[in-house]
């Protein structure tokens, strides 16, 4: 409907109201004016009576009625006075002026004058009848009848009607005009608000919308838009799903089947001696979770530190072993470190220096010259291993994480044509925070040996570019996120990492949710009616485990009804335990758990169960499926894959994810309950909300989260990076050809 239609809808009832008001008001107004005039005429009659009283009493005493008649005729000359009559005390008309109507006698006059509207019709029109006593000392001497002309009152009443009708008409016009103007402005405002809402998909300009009259509608409209968008996206299905086959085909088309080498500190399979035999296990590492499926898809060689007690027993003479055990899809090349080297490079510089430096989680970084020396040596050892493993002069090398900041430039020095993709799995801080590192320039120079340097989020990319800008003389093309340093160009790009989405076969092999629940409850000695929340982490101070336990304590304080009914299970794999900071952290968690359990526990109930040991993928999946809530409360995290694993495990579309706003994942997984882990109250409230969340809402949120993780899976992460690498290689080949032509 257009704006005029809307205004007509408002104006027609308004004008009708005015007409009805006028119709009802006019008779009331008539009666009112008549009453006012009757009162005036009565007063006037009293005055006339007063002025005639003496003459009447004298005239009656002297029996001189002719003088009285003259006085009456003089009074009746007043144009408003029609006639005057005089009655005896016994109501006989004894004298009257000429115009006095014959039809009126003294009795009629008395009766009419006693009525509320004392008026009658005579030949000349309506007259008002006044009946006044003429009193002497002996009592009532006579009565005076005064007939006042009412025609002037009718004229005035008519005038008043005209004025009133004109006033109402004017009022109607003014109200209509104001309505039209206001409606036009409001309409334009609404249209502008609706446009802003539609243009920005309801996400931007929220403040303006909230302040406008449109605010009550905005939330509904936005929700409806999202519903439509979701329906649309669901109807399309994942647009060309990323999977191992697509990644392999990308390697063949864009990289022409070129060799791929991965370098990381943590190896994907660790062989340990146990009970006289050799056991193989996968470590608790987000990096391994993400990169391993990619390596299975593209074969190649993975170079990593051989840290297992039986690692040397299973490798060949070149320190190589085919993995995964049983299917042997790619080669693992192990690098050996002495305990002193591991202490300086891994525990010292990487984990006591760079880790706290980049996470800014209120643990001070420690920088030691000796650790830095070890770090440089070991980076060089890995660079040499890359060169030794490379079968071509231009392999694609995927360098993983903060253990290898110097590696890209070291590889570049020996394999100038290599395509080096470095992915930094942890956050990158702002230039001021990074600036405290004594070797900040060397680290930046080392990283800029990469062809492509990836971070999880745009925010970390921006921090890195600003850091280079602050500490190196480099040329920065902000528009394309390219840094040129010395003769090399590095593309700085965000590639949010993810997990492998479970295949249908994998999901079908999982025990049902009910079975997982039964098994977990049996193992932990819990009743099956218990409300279960879970946390899965390494024992690391960046994960916000203390804050999470505080939130559980606060929940039980605020809502004692959950005592005995709610249990939080924290899986915490020991990590970097040779470092004092990590040992202290584990102690603090154990102490806090014990304190909360002592405070709220009973003989048959403990609110917190701490499982301080490594759990394999199968065991973790079982816990994810058994729990109703998963808590991820990192104080700072590059991405965090636990939240994505939880969502992938919930094929029943139930369960609630509580996610820290300081994890990179919070930017993608907006349907989780997002919390500030430092705000204990907020996390406790989120737990309470999650425990009470109705199933339809859980399903709505979980379905959407699953769609995101499924589509943005780890093959997409690797695929995007490798596609960028493919483009960069193509450009270099073309440049080389152009160069050759120039010289021929």
| Residue 547 token pair | 């804050």
Residue with Cβ nearer ligand F6P (273 or 577) = 577
Q: Which of 202, 268, 286, 677 binds ligand F6P (CB under 6 A)?
A: 286
Least distance to ligand F6P, CB of residue 718, Å: 15
Residue with Cβ nearer ligand F6P (72 or 455) = 455
Residue with Cβ nearer ligand F6P (641 or 691) = 641
Residue with Cβ nearer ligand F6P (407 or 530) = 407
Distance CA 722, CA 552 (A): 43
Residue 585: which of 544, 534, 630, 639 has the closest Cα? 544
Give the DSSP letter string of 265-291.
SS-S-EEEEETTEEEEE--S-HHHHHH
Q: Is 276 left (phi over 0), alpha (psi -120 to 50) or beta?
A: left
Residue 57: which of 135, 132, 145 has the closest Cα? 135
Least distance to ligand F6P, CB of residue 424, Å: 9
Q: Which of 285, 379, 419, 463 binds ligand F6P (CB under 6 A)?
A: 285
Q: Contact between 449 and ligand F6P (CB under 6 A)?
A: no
Quote the longest CA-to-CA distance of the chain. Answer: 163
Query: What DSSP designation does 214 have?
Result: T
- With contacts defined by CB under 6 A, how many residues of the chain interact with ligand F6P? 11
Residue with Cβ nearer ligand F6P (285 or 419) = 285
Least distance to ligand F6P, CB of residue 312, Å: 20
Least distance to ligand F6P, CB of residue 626, Å: 23
Contacting range for ligand F6P; rule: CB under 6 A; set: 70-78, 282-290, 309-317, 650-658? 282-290
Least distance to ligand F6P, CB of residue 358, Å: 10
Q: Contact between 401 and ligand F6P (CB under 6 A)?
A: yes
Looking only at residues 288 through 347 of this chain, which bind ligand F6P when binding is defined by CB under 6 A?
none
Looking only at residues 408 through 437 of this chain, which bind ligand F6P when binding is defined by CB under 6 A?
425-426
Distance CA 262, CA 423 (A): 11
b/e 600-637 (16+ beta carbons within 10 angstroms → b): beeeebbbbbbbeebbeeebbbbbbbbbbbbbbbbbbb
Contacting range for ligand F6P; rule: CB under 6 A; set: 74-82, 176-184, 279-287, 548-556? 279-287
Give the DSSP letter string of 342-396.
IIIIIIIIIIIIIHHHHH-SS------HHHHHHHHHHHHHHHHHHHHH-SSSS-E
Residue with Cβ nearer ligand F6P (266 or 701) = 266
Residue with Cβ nearer ligand F6P (118 or 638) = 638
Q: Which of 270, 287, 680, 721 binds ligand F6P (CB under 6 A)?
A: 287
Residue with Cβ nearer ligand F6P (119 or 621) = 621
Contacting range for ligand F6P; rule: CB under 6 A; set: 281-289, 431-439, 475-483, 527-535? 281-289
| Residue 368 token pair | 């030691």
Distances (CA, A) of 396 to 6, 258, 392, 415: 66, 7, 10, 11
Least distance to ligand F6P, CB of residue 265, Å: 6
Least distance to ligand F6P, CB of residue 403, Å: 8
Query: What DSSP designation does 605 have?
Result: B
Contacting range for ligand F6P; rule: CB under 6 A; set: 49-57, 244-252, 285-293, 706-714? 285-293
Distance CA 273, CA 279 (A): 6
Residue nearest to ligand F6P (CB): 287
**Cβ-based neighbour number of residue 535 at 10 Å:** 27
Q: Contact between 668 and ligand F6P (CB under 6 A)?
A: no
Least distance to ligand F6P, CB of residue 714, Å: 13
Q: Contact between 260 and ligand F6P (CB under 6 A)?
A: no
Least distance to ligand F6P, CB of residue 638, Å: 6
Residue with Cβ nearer ligand F6P (3 or 343) = 343
Per-residue mark of binding to ligand F6P, 180-219 (x: CB under 6 A): ----------------------------------------
Residue with Cβ nearer ligand F6P (642 or 687) = 642
Helix (H) / strand (E) containing 182: helix 151-199
Least distance to ligand F6P, CB of residue 291, Å: 9
Residue with Cβ nearer ligand F6P (425 or 644) = 425
Beta bridge partners of 331: 301, 322
Residue with Cβ nearer ligand F6P (130 or 638) = 638
Burial of 332 (0-12, 13-18, 19+ CB in 10 A): buried
Looking only at residues 571 through 610 of this chain, which bind ligand F6P when binding is defined by CB under 6 A?
575-576
Looking only at residues 114 through 133 of this chain, which bind ligand F6P when binding is defined by CB under 6 A?
none
Residue with Cβ nearer ligand F6P (226 or 381) = 381
Query: What DSSP designation does 115 have?
Result: S
Order the strands of the 488-494 sheet from edge to edge.
320-323, 330-335, 301-305, 260-263, 396-400, 419-423, 452-455, 488-494, 482-485, 475-477
Least distance to ligand F6P, CB of residue 664, Å: 10
Residue with Cβ nearer ligand F6P (291 or 533) = 291
Residue with Cβ nearer ligand F6P (244 or 574) = 574
Q: Which residue has the tokens 């899976």?
A: 713
Residue with Cβ nearer ligand F6P (341 or 401) = 401
Distance CA 661, CA 118 (A): 87
Q: What angle do CA 715, 720, 723 make, to 5 degrees?
A: 115
Distance CA 522, CA 530 (A): 12
Q: Contact between 638 and ligand F6P (CB under 6 A)?
A: yes
Least distance to ligand F6P, CB of residue 503, Å: 23
Distance CA 469, CA 449 (A): 16
Least distance to ligand F6P, CB of residue 619, Å: 17
Residue 454: which of 635, 575, 291 has the closest Cα? 291
Looking only at residues 710 through 729 of this chain, which bind ligand F6P when binding is defined by CB under 6 A?
none
| Residue 382 token pair | 């890995």
Q: Show the beta-strand stretches assigned E in 394-450.
A: 396-400, 419-423
Looking only at residues 488 through 547 of this chain, which bind ligand F6P when binding is defined by CB under 6 A?
none
Least distance to ligand F6P, CB of residue 412, Å: 23
Q: For 61, list phi and psi in degrees, rounded to 5.
A: -60, -45
Least distance to ligand F6P, CB of residue 640, Å: 9
Q: Give the interface with ligand F6P as residue ranges (CB under 6 A).
A: 265-266, 285-287, 401, 425-426, 575-576, 638
């Amino acid at each position: 409907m257009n704006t005029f239609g809307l205004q007509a809808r408002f104006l027609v009832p308004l004008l009708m109201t005015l007409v009805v008001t006028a119709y009802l008001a006019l008779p009331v107004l008539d009666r009112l004016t008549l009453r006012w005039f009757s009162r005036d005429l009565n007063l006037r009659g009293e005055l006339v009576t007063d002025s005639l009283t003496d003459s009447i009493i004298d005239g009656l005493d002297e029996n001189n009625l002719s003088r009285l008649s003259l006085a009456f005729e003089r009074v009746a000359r007043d144009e408003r006075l029609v006639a005057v009559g005089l009655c005896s005390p016994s109501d006989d008309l004894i004298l009257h002026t000429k115009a006095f109507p014959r039809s009126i006698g003294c009795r009629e006059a008395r009766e009419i004058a006693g009525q509320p509207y004392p008026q009658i019709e005579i030949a000349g029109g309506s007259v008002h009848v006044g009946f006044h006593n003429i009193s002497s000392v002996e009592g009532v001497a006579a009565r005076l009848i005064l007939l006042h002309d009412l025609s002037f009152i009718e004229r005035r009443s008519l005038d008043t009607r005209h004025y009133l009708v004109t006033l109402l008409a004017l009022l109607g016009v003014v109200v209509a005009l104001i309505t039209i103007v206001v409606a036009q402005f409001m309409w334009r405002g609404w249209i502008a608000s609706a446009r802003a809402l539609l243009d920005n998909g309801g996400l931007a300009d929220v403040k303006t919308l909230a302040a406008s009259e449109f605010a009550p509608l905005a939330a509904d409209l936005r929700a409806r838009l999202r519903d439509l968008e979701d329906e649309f996206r669901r109807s399309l299905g994942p647009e060309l799903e990323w999977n191992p086959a697509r990644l392999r085909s990308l390697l063949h088309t864009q990289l022409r089947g070129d060799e791929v080498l991965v370098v990381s500190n943590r190896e994907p399979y660790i062989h340990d001696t146990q009970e006289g035999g050799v056991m193989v296990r996968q470590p608790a590492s987000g990096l391994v979770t993400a990169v391993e499926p990619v390596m299975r898809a593209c074969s190649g060689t993975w170079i990593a530190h051989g840290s297992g007690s039986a690692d040397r027993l299973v490798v060949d003479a070149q320190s190589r072993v085919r993995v995964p055990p049983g299917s042997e899809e790619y080669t693992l090349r192990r690098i050996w470190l002495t305990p002193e080297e591991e202490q300086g490079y891994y525990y010292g510089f990487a984990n006591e220096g760079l880790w706290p430096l980049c996470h800014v989680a209120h643990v001070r970084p420690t920088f030691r010259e000796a650790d830095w020396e070890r770090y440089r040596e070991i980076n060089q050892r890995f660079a040499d291993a890359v060169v030794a493993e490379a079968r071509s002069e231009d392999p694609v090398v995927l360098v993983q994480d903060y253990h290898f900041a110097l590696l890209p430039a070291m590889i570049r020095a020996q394999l100038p044509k290599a395509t080096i993709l470095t992915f930094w799995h942890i956050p990158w801080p702002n230039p001021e925070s990074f600036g405290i590192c004594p070797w900040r320039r060397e680290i930046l120079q080392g990283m800029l040996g990469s062809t492509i340097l990836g971070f999880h989020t745009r925010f970390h990319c921006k921090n890195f570019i600003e850091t280079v800008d602050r500490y190196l003389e480099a040329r920065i093309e902000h528009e394309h996120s390219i840094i040129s340093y010395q003769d090399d160009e590095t593309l700085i790009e965000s590639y949010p990492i993810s997990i492998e989405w479970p295949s249908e076969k994998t999901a079908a092999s999982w025990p049902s949710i009910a079975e997982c629940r039964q098994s977990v409850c049996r193992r932990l000695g819990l009743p099956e009616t218990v409300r279960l929340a879970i946390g899965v982490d390494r024992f690391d101070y960046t994960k916000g485990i203390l804050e999470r336990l505080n939130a559980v304590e606060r929940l039980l304080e605020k809502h004692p009804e959950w005592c005995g009914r709610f249990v939080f299970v924290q899986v915490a794999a020991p990590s970097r335990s040779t470092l004092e900071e990590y040992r202290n952290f584990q102690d603090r968690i154990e102490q806090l758990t014990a304190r909360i359990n002592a405070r709220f526990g009973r003989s048959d109930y403990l609110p917190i169960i701490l499982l301080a040991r490594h759990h394999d993928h199968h065991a973790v999946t079982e816990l994810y499926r058994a729990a109703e809530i998963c808590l991820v409360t990192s104080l700072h995290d590059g991405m965090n894959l636990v939240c994505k694993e939880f969502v992938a495990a919930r094929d029943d579309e139930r369960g609630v994810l509580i996610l820290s706003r300081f994890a990179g994942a919070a930017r993608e997984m907006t349907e989780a309950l997002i919390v500030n882990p430092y705000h204990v109250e907020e996390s406790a409230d989120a737990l309470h909300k999650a425990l009470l969340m109705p199933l339809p809402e859980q399903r709505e949120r979980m379905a959407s989260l699953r769609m995101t993780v499924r589509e943005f899976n780890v093959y997409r992460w690797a695929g995007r990076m490798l596609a960028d690498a493919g483009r960069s290689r193509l450009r270099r080949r073309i440049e080389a050809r152009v160069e050759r032509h120039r010289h021929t």
